[in-house]
Structure 1
Amino acid sequence: MSSPSSLPGAPGAASSSGAEAPVTPSAATAVPSTDEGHPHRRLRSFVRRAGRTTTGQSKAFEQWGPQFLLPFREARLDVDAAFGRHAPTVLEIGFGMGEATAHIARVRPDDNFLCCEVHEPGVGALLKRIGEQDIRNIRICAHDAVEVLQHMIAPQSLAGIHIFFPDPWHKKRHHKRRLIQPPFVRQLVEHLAPGGYLHCATDWQPYAEQMLQVLRAEPLLANTSGSPEGWAPKPDYRPLTKFENRGLRLGHGVWDLVFRRA
């Protein structure tokens, strides 16, 4: 088994608003930007983040990596072969340290979870959880989710997409780097099967409001929320992480949005 540092795309780091429940910004096309010095920067599914892989995480790469890590390829993924079964497949973009991912996979054993994350310690941590908790319905691609979506995922093939706590890019001049933007949402929707859902969550209200605006403007999506504000109740399958519980104790809000493809 190759070392963590030799994994495709591994030396990156998914960013998020907190250590326990990250998800990354990920626009699935080469969207031009006008950032100074980077006239053709494209939005990615991650930003670089420091972190050390522990001994336990390194052992998890060696022990569980061959079974649960999928190499990135510029070719369609045979999902049934990758999971060893035919089942609805949910794509998760950025999972941080994998706490929520492991929980969701356990409470939804009949679904497949294809999870993208480039932060080595996070990948190692989820592999460790997979081994310790005997979770069999997760596969990890340690690569930029933008390219995974473009090359490996067939159109209209996903039952759902999870994007939890993406980096909010607080400064106004950085808003262009946010994940949830119209071109990327359109690409996400094109990979959802009819009736498939997109579930986003954030703890940053201005970003939540932007997400809601963008998702409402996508003609192929319908909001599942019946509330006038448009926010969805937290689905039972999404757990409260330690980071999120800490924020709630401090009075911070969390906003869920669940939209479904027509």
Structure 2
Amino acid sequence: MNIQVTPPSSDTPAIGGTHIRSFVHRRSHITLRQQQALEQLAPRWSLPYKPALLNPEAVFGRAAPTILEIGFGMGETTAKIALARPEDNFLGVEVFNAGVGSMLQKIEDNGLQNIRIIQHDAVEVLRDMIAPDSLAGVHIYFPDPWPKKRHHKRRLIQAPFIALLASRMKPGAYLHCATDWEHYSHQMLEVLTAEPQLENTCEGFAPRPDYRPQTKFETRGLRLGHGVWDLIFRRSQA
């Protein structure tokens, strides 16, 4: 795939030399099918991390709204949304081999043409590869909750990250987060509400929109009485 890139501008906002990463290294099992997908399909659907701005029109071969999904896990939700919304382009960022292999296989099995993958830290991808005012939407579904209090500082949804993320969204673009940890949901609401570039589309939490499918894990949790909290904010027009 021929990827056209342009150097990042000098006014690109940055998070300092150290930042909250979108992942933590963990050992994870990978199946033979996932490994084969990584080897055979990644050259077709994955993009290398580069400290240069992506040209989405060149990457996807068309001009269309770009939706960024951070941490797509095994790709179940991303594939379903991309299949239901062929008019949008989806850029998925994930670091774990098993998840990337699974997503690549779903792209192939479903004949999806509107998904590309970057296997790298989401903060660095946002900072270095996504142009300001370019994203039509962002999905962050069930990020690691880091439930222990001493680990809360590792949570992804924090003020510096959200300020960077908002700067990459077009005016009017949406940010959709979801979590099944109540404490984290309130932290998310507080952080998103405090970001001056964003406006809440609801009074507090939002009902789950039709475009976000309910996962098997989520369905089982709801049956057991566990809650799920959605938040939908928009980049202000000002």
Q: Give the TM-score of the pair, scaled to structure 2.
A: 0.91
CA deviation map 1:197-219 (0-9, x unaligned)? 11000000010011101111111
* Post-superposition offset of 1:84: 0.6
**What pairs up with 1:41-60 in 2 under 5 angstroms?**
42-60=19-37
- For residue 217 of structure 2, the aligned residue among 243, 251, 257 is 243
Question: How much has 1:231 moved relative to structure 2?
Answer: 0.7
Match in the other structure for 2:65? 88
Contact 1:60–1:131 under 8 Å retained in 2: no
Distance 1:176 1:60 in 2: 34
Is 47-56 or 241-250 further displaced after alignment?
Answer: 47-56
Moved over 3 A (4+): none
Distance, in Å, in 2 between the alignment partners of 1:54 and 1:81 is 32
Is the counterpart of residue 75 in structure 1 residue 49 in structure 2? no
Give the deviation of 1:108 after TM superposition.
0.8
What do the CA deviations read for 1:70-104 (whole angstroms, capped 9, x no partner)? 00111111111110101000111101100001001
Q: Deviations over 1:79-132 (max 9, x none)?
A: 111101010001111011000010010111111111100110000000000000
* Structure 2, unaligned runs of 5 or more: 1-13
Paired AA for residue 173 in structure 1: R
Query: How far is 1:171 from its partner?
Result: 1.4
Aligned pairs, number = 223
CA RMSD in angstroms, aligned pairs only: 1.2
- Determine the C-alpha separation between the residues in 2 that align with 1:29 and 1:237: 31
What displacement does 1:233 show? 0.8
| Aligned residue among 78, 87, 94 for 1:110 | 87
Partners in 1 of 2:116 and 2:19 — Cα distance? 26
Q: Which amino acid aligns with 1:251?
A: G
Amino acid at match of 2:15: T
Deviation at residue 42 of structure 1 after TM alignment? 2.9
Within the alignment, does 1:223 sit opposite 2:197 as a pair? no
Q: Can you give the 5+ residue segments of structure 1 that lack an aligned partner in the other structure?
A: 1-27, 32-40
Q: Shift of the alpha carbon at 1:61? A: 2.0
Determine the structure 1 residue equivalent to 2:39.
Answer: 62
2:190 maps to which of 213, 216, 220: 213
> Which residue is equivalent to 1:7?
none
Cα deviation code 1:27-75 (max 9, x no counterpart) = x7247xxxxxxxxx53101011222221111222233211100001111
Q: Is the 8 A contact 1:162 1:200 kept in 2?
A: yes
Deviations 1:128-176 (A, max 9, x none): 0000010110000011111111111000000011100011111112111
Q: Judging by fraction of residues, say which structure has more strand.
A: 2
Q: Which has the higher contact order (CA 8 A, sep 6+)?
A: 1
- Give the distance between the partners of 2:65 and 2:46, measured in 1 at CA: 19
Residue aligned with 1:237, SS: coil
Mapped pair 1:29 → 2:6: no
User: What is the identity, as a one-letter code, of the residue corresponding to 1:243?
Assistant: F
